[in-house]
Structure 1
C-alpha cells in the first residue's frame, strides 16, 4: 500500500506570500487547523506567488524571497513536507494557464467580471494601480486568474476540502458555478470541494480591529517584541480573543478581564512566547527550502497534466 492510500480525503490550503512571514491571524485563521488535520487528509499547501506578483508587480523579486518565509513558518508549525505537498504556483504556470483556459469556457463573462469588480484589484483607484506597478486598465490575466486560478487548481488536484479563513469563501461559489455549467455539457457531475471553515476565521489585531500586518504579531518575532506588543494592548476583547484562540477559554470563566486584565495579559505573554518558540528557533537554510519546494514537482505536474487530458477527452472530445 502506498503512503497516500491511507487518506480518504484531500484538503487544500491557500496562502498568498505577498507579505512574507505569517502572523497570528494566519496561524489561528488557517495554518493550525490545516496542520492538525494533515494526518487525516492528504494535504496540499498552495503558495500562490502568481497572485502576489499580480497584485504588486513592483515587488516581484521581493515576493519570491517572501515565499521562503511562508514555507518555513508552515514547517515550523508542524507541516510534514515528506508526507504532504507544497505547490508554488509559478512553478506550474503552463499547466495552470491551460487549466484556466479550459475552465474559462464554463463561467459567464458577466459573472467573472462582477467578481473582479468586487475584488481588491477591481476596487483600486488609478493612482493606486500606478503605485503598485499595474497598468491603468486590467489585463485579461488580471481579470481571469484571481477568479479561476484556485478553482482550476483545486479541480485538477481533485480535492474535497477547501480550508482557510473567511477571505477564501468566495472560491466555493465560483467552483459551484463552474461545476453546474459543466453538468450541462455532460452528465458526469463531481461535487466541488467543500469549504472547511477555520476555527478562528476572524482574529483580532493588537488594536481590536481585524488583524493585518500593521497590528499583528509575527510567528517568528523575538520574545522582547512579543512582550512589548502585548503590554501595549488596551482592548480587553483582544486578550479574550487570543486566550480563546490558545485554548484557554476556561481561564476566562475564572478571571474577568475587567478585574484581572494585567494578570491575564502577563499570562498571555508567557503562553504566546512558549507557543511560538519553534518559529523563532528553527531557521532553515535556503537550500533546504528550495528542496522542499521542488520535491513534489513531477508528482504535481502529472496530476495537472492528467486532469487536463481527462477534461479534454470528456468535454472537448479531444
Structure 2
C-alpha cells in the first residue's frame, strides 16, 4: 500500500507563490506515488478570523480551485473540508490533554504568528492550541509524510511528540513518527522583502495573478537600495528579484550570469525585473487558464469537496474509534 500523506491550507484567500514553492509543487508530484489527503482547514482558519466566517466559507472554493488548477487530480487525491469531519475535533480534545500550555507557547511558529498578529494577552485559546488540531489532522490519517514549508517544521515536531506521548501513555503503537517533506526552496519572502509571503501582509503574488497585476507587483519588488544607477555594483543577497529567479527560473546558468553582471555593475533593476515577469507569467499563465475553466462550474468543485469529505470521514472515524477503544472511553 502506498504511504499516506496529509497536507493542506487555510481558506483565508487564494493560494500564492509561497504556497507553491513551499509544498504545493510537491503535492502534485506525490499524488503519483502516495495516497494523498488535502485538507482545506476552514475550522483552523477560524482561530484568527472568527469574526468573518463568511469570508472563510467563500474561500473554500477558492482554495479548491487553486488545487485543481495546479494539477491536483481528485481521482488520485482526496480533497476534503476540515469542518465536515467532526471526529477530528473529538481527537483534538483528547490530544489537548497530552500537551502543556508552556509547550504550546514555545512553539516557534505559534510565537511568530502571535507577534505578527499582535495578539499579546488577547490571544484566542483556539489560536494557541491550533498545533494540537493540526496534529489531529495528521495523526487521524496515520500519515507517513507531510509536505510543508520550512516554517511548519515545528508543527511536525509537536505532532510527533503528541503521537509518542499517546503511544507511551496507553502502551500502544497506534501512531507512527511523521516525516516532514520540505519544499524545493526555502521560505519565499514577500515582494517587500520584509517577511514571508502572505496575503494578509499585502506582499503576495497569487497563483492566478492577472498579468497586469503581476507586472506591477514585480516592479514594486525590493532590490538593492544602494543600486541607484545602472553602472553601480549591486548586491544579490537579500535582493528579492534574484530570490524569485532562483526559485522559479528554469535556466539556472543564465541566472548565475545575471548575478555576476549585477555584482559587477552595468545591469539595471528594470532588466532583471522584466526577465522575472516573463518567467512568472510563463509559469502562472497555464494555471490561470485552468483555474478559469474550473471556475465555470463551482458547483462541481464543491461536489468534489463533499465527496472527498465523505471519504476522509470514514478514515478518521476508524482511527478515532481505535483511539477510544485503546483509551477505554466511549462505551459503558
Into which bin does the TM-score normalised by the smaller protein fall? 0.7 to 0.9
Q: Is the 8 A contact 1:117 1:123 kept in 2?
A: no
More deviation, 107-116/162-171: 107-116
Number of the residue aligned with 2:152: 168
Q: 1:188 aligned to 2:173?
A: yes
More deviation, 258-267/166-175: 258-267
Any idea what the Cα deviations from partners look like across 1:112-164, whole Å, max 9, x if unmatched?
455498363588657x89xxxxxx5745x4543x0211111211101111111
1:186 deviates by 0.2
Q: Is the 8 A contact 1:157 1:304 kept in 2?
A: yes
Q: 1:254 aligned to 2:242?
A: no
Number of the residue aligned with 2:228: none
Number of the residue aligned with 2:242: 240
Any idea what the Cα deviations from partners look like across 1:58-86, whole Å, max 9, x if unmatched?
21101111121111111111111121111
Cα 1:222/1:138, change in 2 over 3 Å: closer
CA distance in 2, matches of 1:12, 1:297: 13
Q: Is the 8 A contact 2:142 2:176 kept in 1?
A: no
Aligned mate of 1:99, from 78, 91, 100: 91
Q: 1:269 aligned to 2:287?
A: no
Cα 1:121/1:267, change in 2 over 3 Å: closer
Q: 1:223 aligned to 2:211?
A: yes
CA distance in 2, matches of 1:174, 1:291: 33
Any idea what the Cα deviations from partners look like across 1:182-240, whole Å, max 9, x if unmatched?
21330436422111111223112222233222122222121122122223335152222
Q: 1:209 aligned to 2:194?
A: yes
Matches within 5 A, 1:1-318: 5=1, 8-18=2-12, 20-92=13-85, 94-112=86-104, 114-115=106-107, 118=111, 120-121=113-114, 138-139=124-125, 141-144=126-129, 146-182=130-166, 183-188=168-173, 190-210=175-195, 211-213=197-199, 214-235=202-223, 237-246=239-248, 247-256=250-259, 258=262, 259-261=266-268, 262-282=270-290, 283=292, 284=295, 285-316=297-328
Give the aligned CA root-mean-square deviation in angstroms.
Answer: 2.6
Provide TM-score, normalisation by structure 1: 0.85
- Three-state SS of the structure 2 residue aligned to 1:11 is strand
More deviation, 94-103/76-85: 94-103
- Three-state SS of the structure 1 residue aligned to 2:316 is helix
Q: Is the 8 A contact 1:186 1:315 kept in 2?
A: no
Cα 1:124/1:26, change in 2 over 3 Å: closer
Cα 1:54/1:204, change in 2 over 3 Å: closer
Q: Is the 8 A contact 1:155 1:192 kept in 2?
A: no
CA distance in 2, matches of 1:159, 1:24: 25
Count of aligned positions: 301
Q: Is the 8 A contact 2:164 2:175 kept in 1?
A: no
Any idea what the Cα deviations from partners look like across 1:43-102, whole Å, max 9, x if unmatched?
11111111112211121101111121111111111111121111211111x211211122
Number of the residue aligned with 2:230: none
Any idea what the Cα deviations from partners look like across 1:260-284, whole Å, max 9, x if unmatched?
4443322222221121113322322
CA distance in 1, matches of 2:286, 2:38: 20
Q: 5+ unaligned residues in a row in structure 2: which ranges?
A: 224-235
- Three-state SS of the structure 1 residue aligned to 2:20 is helix
Provide TM-score, normalisation by structure 2: 0.81
Q: Is the 8 A contact 2:139 2:163 kept in 1?
A: no
- Three-state SS of the structure 2 residue aligned to 1:233 is coil
- Three-state SS of the structure 1 residue aligned to 2:79 is strand
CA distance in 1, matches of 2:110, 2:148: 23
